[in-house]
Amino acid sequence: MTSTSTAARRGPAAPTDGARSALHPLGHAAVTLDGGFLADWQLRNREGTIPHAIEQLEASHALDNLRRITGEHEGEFVGFWFADSDVYKTLEAIGWEAGRCGAEQFLPFVDATVDLLARAQDDDGYLNSYFQVDQPERELTELRWSHELYCLGHLLQAGVAWSRAVGRTDLLAIGLRFAELIERRFGEGGSDMVDGHPEIETALVEVFRETGDERWLRLARRFVDLRGRGLLGVDALGPQYYQDHEPVRAVREATGHAVRQLYLAAGVADVVAETGDAELAEALDRLWSSVHERKQYVSGGLGSRHRDEAFGDAYELPPDRAYAETCAAIANLHWNWRMLLLTGGSRYADEMERGLYNAIAVSTSTDGCAFTYANPLHLRSDASGGGENAPTTRQPWFRCACCPPNLARLVASLHDYVATTSADGLQLHLYADATIALPGGGTATVRTGYPWDGRVEVAFDEPFEGELLLRRPGWARGAILTADGRSVPTEARDGYLVVDGSAHPLSRVVLDLPMEPEVLRPHPRIDAVRGCVAVARGPVLYAIEQADLPEGVLSDDVVVPEAPEVRPAGVDPVTGPRLLIAGARVRGGHRHELYRAMPSARTDAGHAPSSSAFGLIAVPYHRWGNRAPGGMRVWLPTR
Amino acid sequence: MTSTSTAARRGPAAPTDGARSALHPLGHAAVTLDGGFLADWQLRNREGTIPHAIEQLEASHALDNLRRITGEHEGEFVGFWFADSDVYKTLEAIGWEAGRCGAEQFLPFVDATVDLLARAQDDDGYLNSYFQVDQPERELTELRWSHELYCLGHLLQAGVAWSRAVGRTDLLAIGLRFAELIERRFGEGGSDMVDGHPEIETALVEVFRETGDERWLRLARRFVDLRGRGLLGVDALGPQYYQDHEPVRAVREATGHAVRQLYLAAGVADVVAETGDAELAEALDRLWSSVHERKQYVSGGLGSRHRDEAFGDAYELPPDRAYAETCAAIANLHWNWRMLLLTGGSRYADEMERGLYNAIAVSTSTDGCAFTYANPLHLRSDASGGGENAPTTRQPWFRCACCPPNLARLVASLHDYVATTSADGLQLHLYADATIALPGGGTATVRTGYPWDGRVEVAFDEPFEGELLLRRPGWARGAILTADGRSVPTEARDGYLVVDGSAHPLSRVVLDLPMEPEVLRPHPRIDAVRGCVAVARGPVLYAIEQADLPEGVLSDDVVVPEAPEVRPAGVDPVTGPRLLIAGARVRGGHRHELYRAMPSARTDAGHAPSSSAFGLIAVPYHRWGNRAPGGMRVWLPTR
């Protein structure tokens, strides 16, 4: 492998030329976010989250764990036995960052860490700071819980990021030495086994894409096909926790540990892209429907159960006890990106957007240095939190620190998800101020106030003769589209508005998406939010927060009309654009009895709201919890 | 200790003569249940549950674990390290049964097991089948998780039961030898430590009551006062899991593992009764309000969270994800019985009744040989269950088998909770066909069809000159009371209707409680059941079940009117008396989208019920799941 030219730099999940792929990524260096929401996030990631993560890798002893292998550090292993993955994900983040706009300030950390990993690696390629020191006799024998291939997966993804982004291959070489060992041990002809935590599958397909060596694709497919055969044995968590309950090809419902389910889905989508396996593709379609039509929060959060960090049953979506792990929302974005590339369907980009502006964005504080792990949609006034992964406020780090560096690697590659190309032209999926280098030469410039404003202007420096596809978001109630002053019909094709530049080459295309506040109502089978409404504007979900309520009014007791008037209410310096919900009242008639009986056929008049109506402020859900502590609600009772 | 005369036989939680106690138990042999609901349950327990439990103690290797100590069995320890307690609770059940109506058929098991325990016990009194064989070096050093004092508590309760019920003291002697060791190690002047799972506290007070030795009361109080001081150290579960988060005297809210919280509460109530400690009594009052006014299911189930088997926040009461462990409802009955004795307040008996006919009764199948551990109030049609303690059907036993033998010991002593005495006379708390031997001589006979019929007739064989108190249940909307043909005023005193026999000695008292079906509405802060109603009749909560629905109609899609007409609908041989809810409809307008947006100030007309109205059958909640599998709901949506 040699240094990569700028044009050839690729981003995450870049299918090969031979892949089944309706759309193609533009390349990691082809898109620059110039300003606005996503660019600000990348800046916050670079200046806040990544330096903070590097500090925390020391403070949490994740680096010391590795230094124990070389003898540079003495002491106990600290943290969970998969703590190496925190280091790898941080390295991946910096890799994408290096390809985006350089990472000089992080190179001392990167060089020292890559050097440490090279020295820590065993001669046979094995590398894992827990097992090498504490339980060498159990290496690669306890894959149900060991996370050894999970950690390798993250090491490989970090190596691929550096190789793709700037052509630096030393980290990938370390990963490949370990992967060779795994291939000898568990490849065709070797032991039939899988890892209890999927991740290696998507990583191996990426390694195949980066190296061209089909062994890695075969190994990924083998790991996919070996699941659901009971190879991991049985324990109290049940086989679905480990995604070992049924063969992937037979899947009907998303179940078990949500992050494992969704990492696996991303890996399967990669295998489908590179093999064209139709049966696996159909399994993915069923899984997608299960997740997105029956088990997803309106925020894009996934995995409702705290217990086992798992998907619940269909429609089991409590807002207060939403686990909705940050990593699950990130994994879902990864999966939907792969589905989007495969098929070109806008629903996948819609779900990327939903997660990005809500379940993922909410996970980071405004300074980029405090995080959530669980992401509830409702916090009661007296909430006590739900264990170490579900405190009531954002935390600087976690003992299980999977989420913060996962955010860092996602945000450093956000621009990769904005647009794609195909033989027919250019597709815009996420709207943001961006400069896009087109594959055929020339530049497209996007200017927009998205997600706060629905106007999107696309300017081409050279007249564009292809098809320009503009995603019409699922939430959009209409659209006005003009191309160089001409009105363009807005019938969507597979969710995209089409502007054809073949007759009249395009110079300036303007899309106007209406952004009036919307009132959202849940599917009637979602029992936990019956009789409630939520408020959104564009892709941004809103919430009410104690900090905005009149003195003496608790967020627990607010009631809104069934069809409230909602209008913009200015911009708060911390939370951004606010909305005002008219006609809210405070529920009165408090009583001690939890349950009140009355004779059959008589209604209960005791709950009538007692206050006069007032205007209720709502703020973007993703910005809640950055001011005073207190209750929060996305779903607002109407009774 | 000598053989106990019939008159002196006492039941569970019998305060001493010096105790602070408004009411006094009548004695284990003073009350006989003659027929009806509770007597049937005792019969089912004797003929079904207890023989089944003895079989399961073999099948689950709980007895083999003990035989490993003596060398009679070889092999690994099986089950959880507190499996000895399953044996002790079964022995306790048989002890109460022996005092109730003999236990000849169980004596071979009892004799062999007591003999085994005597031989297994170490010379210093220590007895625990896990630690003695597998980790002797850690004996009594790991009380956070070891359950050693928890198991001892159950051993002592079993010993007390046998001693009280029939004067057999060999089992208690074994427990006392172990208790002496604990007193030397952890009593005054010894180590400051508590057990991670409360249980020893209530057991020690009972031992004090049985032996008269105040050391045991002092040790119980010491264990109560040492909680909340951080003695158990810190782990990921948090100190509230172990009831070590704050001193008992400072308690404000029920929190942490529900069974631990409630066993502790029972023990504290015992300490209060025997010491008169006013500060502890006030703490108990606060705890009681937290549990019963903010954290209890309408079924009497407690502890909503699956994760850590814990109490949720106030009003966090999801019916689908209700953990509501059977043992928590049993512990709550134990606690409320102690509060009732302390204070004489009917609200405690009301809660005993609520749990008994609902959360506790639901846990056992109609044959007495299959059980629930978690007790949800809602099961979706496609529910997959929630781990090994929360399958979708009752199970013969559990790997963690705390619940079935806990049921057995409760049911064998059910008659002890029916009535009490005081200097003023007799109090009836639970209505059942019963013959009651009165302390002053003579007999009261109760005849009733309760809980299905509200008429309760009390006949005295000798004219009764004291006060007869009849509980007026919290659910009762009125009452008609006559004494020997005279109408008696029905103003309740502390929840009890008073019939004074001093002027006109009583021969026959008749109470009529109206039992029309009631529609229950939840407190508006209980988010999870907003817009729903439940149906009850008398103390019995009802549920709808898939087995009673028209073909093609799922329990997930049924909607009832806000104020439905409900009327009796005959008796089913399996479920008992049914109700019919008029005007139910099937929700139509199915759609794929989980969330539907509409412009502010427009309502959603898409959820309107589409079917014609039909009569919806409801069955007693405690009998659901005894026919075909399928969905179940207590809370019925009105929209």
Show residues of chain B in contact with A609, CB under 8 Å.
none
- Candidate from A317, A530, A597 with C-beta closest to B536: A597
Q: Provide the residue range defining the domain that includes B631.
A: 518-637
Determine the pLDDT at residue A1. 35
- Candidate from A238, A388, A530 with C-beta closest to B387: A238
Mean pLDDT, to the nearest integer, of A526-546?
97
Which SS3 state, helix, strand or coil, does residue B617 take? strand
Contact state of A477 with B386 under an 8 Å Cβ cutoff = no
On whether both B494 and B394 belong to a single domain, the answer is no
- B219: phi > 0 → left, psi -120 to 50 → alpha, else beta; which? alpha
Q: Tell me if B86 sits within 8 A of B402, measured CB to CB.
A: yes
Instruction: Examine the pLDDT at A3 and tell me if it is beyond 50.
Output: no
Q: Tell me if B499 sits within 8 A of B488, measured CB to CB.
A: yes
Place of tokens 């009796």: B568
Q: Is the minimum CB–CB distance between B598 and chain A shorter than 8 Å?
A: yes
Count of CB atoms situated within 10 Å of the CB of A554: 16
Contact state of A601 with B565 under an 8 Å Cβ cutoff = yes
CATH code (residue A22): 1.50.10
Q: Tell me if B15 sits within 8 A of B21, measured CB to CB.
A: yes
Residue B553 maps to a domain: yes
Compute the C-alpha angle A573/A637/B587, nearest 5°. Answer: 135
On whether both B480 and B554 belong to a single domain, the answer is no
Determine the pLDDT at residue A588. 76
Contact state of B294 with A527 under an 8 Å Cβ cutoff = no
On whether both B91 and B119 belong to a single domain, the answer is yes
- A166: phi > 0 → left, psi -120 to 50 → alpha, else beta; which? alpha
Peptide bond between residue A51 and the one before it cis (omega within 30 degrees of 0): no
Tokens matching residue A114:
């890559």
On whether both B351 and B446 belong to a single domain, the answer is no
B575-598 pLDDT, tens digit per residue, is 999 999 999 999 876 577 899 987
- Candidate from B383, B556, B637 with C-beta closest to A530: B637
A351-379 pLDDT, tens digit per residue, is 999 999 999 999 999 999 999 999 999 99
Mean pLDDT, to the nearest integer, of A291-313?
97
Q: What is d(CA A91, CA A72) in angstroms, rounded to the nearest whole number?
A: 20
Instruction: Examine the pLDDT at B263 and tell me if it is beyond 90.
Output: yes
A570-603 pLDDT, tens digit per residue, is 999 999 999 999 999 998 765 778 999 876 667 6
On whether both A182 and A122 belong to a single domain, the answer is yes
On whether both B188 and B233 belong to a single domain, the answer is yes
Residues 514-533 on B with a CB inside 8 Å of A are 516-532
On whether both B550 and B407 belong to a single domain, the answer is no
Contact state of B594 with A298 under an 8 Å Cβ cutoff = yes
Contact state of A525 with B312 under an 8 Å Cβ cutoff = no
Task: For A394, list phi and psi in degrees, rounded to 5.
Answer: -65, 150
Tokens matching residue B406:
């806990």
Kind of pairing, strands B467-471 and B425-428? Answer: parallel
CATH code (residue B465): 2.60.40
Burial (0-12, 13-18, 19+ Cβ within 10 Å), A460: buried
Q: Tell me if A32 sits within 8 A of A434, measured CB to CB.
A: yes
A12-34 pLDDT, tens digit per residue, is 999 999 999 999 999 999 999 99
Show residues of chain B in contact with A238, CB under 8 Å.
387-388
Determine the pLDDT at residue B588. 76
Distance from CA of B209 to the nearest CA of A (A): 36
Determine the pLDDT at residue B387. 87
Contact state of B520 with A591 under an 8 Å Cβ cutoff = no
Q: What is d(CA A615, CA A189) in angstroms, rounded to the nearest whole number?
A: 68
- B604: phi > 0 → left, psi -120 to 50 → alpha, else beta; which? beta
A97-115 pLDDT, tens digit per residue, is 999 999 999 999 999 999 9
Q: Which of B365, B398, B417 is the last residue of a domain?
A: B417
Instruction: Examine the pLDDT at A563 and tell me if it is beyond 60.
Output: yes
Show residues of chain B in contact with A566, CB under 8 Å.
600-601
Contact state of B600 with A525 under an 8 Å Cβ cutoff = no
Residue B361 maps to a domain: yes
Q: What is d(CA B440, CA B459) in angstroms, rounded to the nearest whole number?
A: 16
Distance from CA of A313 to the nearest CA of B (A): 6
Count of CB atoms situated within 10 Å of the CB of A115: 12
On whether both B229 and B347 belong to a single domain, the answer is yes
A434-484 pLDDT, tens digit per residue, is 999 999 899 999 999 999 999 999 999 999 999 999 999 999 989 999 999
Instruction: Examine the pLDDT at B622 and tell me if it is beyond 90.
Output: yes
- Candidate from B477, B530, B594 with C-beta closest to A531: B530
Residue A302 maps to a domain: yes
Q: Tell me if A470 sits within 8 A of A493, measured CB to CB.
A: no
Q: Is the minimum CB–CB distance between B148 and chain A shorter than 8 Å?
A: no
B103-134 pLDDT, tens digit per residue, is 999 999 999 999 999 999 999 999 999 999 99
Residues 387-416 on B with a CB inside 8 Å of A are 387-388, 399
Q: Is the minimum CB–CB distance between B607 and chain A shorter than 8 Å?
A: yes
On whether both B573 and B461 belong to a single domain, the answer is no
Closest by Cα among A200, A239, A207 to A222: A200
| Best to test chain A binding among B527, B541, B557 (most A CBs inside 10 Å) | B527
- Candidate from B236, B529, B595 with C-beta closest to A388: B236
Count of CB atoms situated within 10 Å of the CB of A537: 22
Residues 221-240 on A with a CB inside 8 Å of B are 236-238
On whether both B485 and B592 belong to a single domain, the answer is no
Residue A1 maps to a domain: no
On whether both A496 and A525 belong to a single domain, the answer is no
Instruction: Examine the pLDDT at B1 and tell me if it is beyond 70.
Output: no
Of all residues in chain A, what percent carry a pLDDT higher than 90? 93
B156-214 pLDDT, tens digit per residue, is 999 999 999 999 999 999 999 999 999 999 999 999 999 999 999 999 999 999 999 99
Helix (H) or strand (E) holding A456: strand A455-464
Mean pLDDT over each residue of chain A, to the nearest integer: 95
Contact state of B521 with A557 under an 8 Å Cβ cutoff = no
Q: Is the minimum CB–CB distance between B254 and chain A shorter than 8 Å?
A: no
Residue A385 maps to a domain: no
Determine the pLDDT at residue A396. 96
Residue B354 maps to a domain: yes
Q: Which of B417, B437, B470 is the last residue of a domain?
A: B417
Q: Chain B: residue nearest A555 by CA?
A: B525
Q: Is the minimum CB–CB distance between B471 and chain A shorter than 8 Å?
A: no
Three-state SS string across B186-226, please?
HCCCCCCCCCCCCCHHHHHHHHHHHHCCHHHHHHHHHHHHC
Place of tokens 């060596």: A213
On whether both A270 and A407 belong to a single domain, the answer is yes
Q: What is d(CA A227, CA A247) in angstroms, rounded to the nearest whole number?
A: 6
Split into its structural domains, chain A has a count of 3
Q: Is the minimum CB–CB distance between A373 and chain B shorter than 8 Å?
A: no
Instruction: Examine the pLDDT at A494 and tell me if it is beyond 50.
Output: yes
Distance from CA of B598 to the nearest CA of A (A): 5
Contact state of A599 with B565 under an 8 Å Cβ cutoff = no
Q: Tell me if B448 sits within 8 A of B473, measured CB to CB.
A: no
CA distances from A463 to A423, A435, A503, A615 (A): 17, 15, 11, 49
Q: Tell me if A320 sits within 8 A of B316, measured CB to CB.
A: yes
Residue A527 maps to a domain: yes
| Best to test chain A binding among B304, B313, B586 (most A CBs inside 10 Å) | B313
List of residues 6+ apart from A537 with CB closer than 8 A: A515, A516, A517, A518, A568, A577, A579
Mean pLDDT, to the nearest integer, of B363-392?
95
Which SS3 state, helix, strand or coil, does residue A3 take? coil
- Candidate from B382, B536, B599 with C-beta closest to A314: B382
Confidence of residue B3 (pLDDT cuts 50, 70, 90): very low
Instruction: Examine the pLDDT at A262 and tell me if it is beyond 50.
Output: yes
Q: Tell me if A515 sits within 8 A of A449, measured CB to CB.
A: no
Distance from CA of B414 to the nearest CA of A (A): 26
Mean pLDDT, to the nearest integer, of A212-231?
98
Closest by Cα among A81, A161, A64 to A120: A64
Q: Which of B360, B395, B417 is the last residue of a domain?
A: B417
Determine the pLDDT at residue A6. 60
Tokens matching residue A418:
């904005």
Mean pLDDT, to the nearest integer, of B487-514?
95
Residue A84 maps to a domain: yes
CA distances from B546 to A452, B543, B550, B633 (A): 47, 10, 9, 9
DSSP state of B469: E
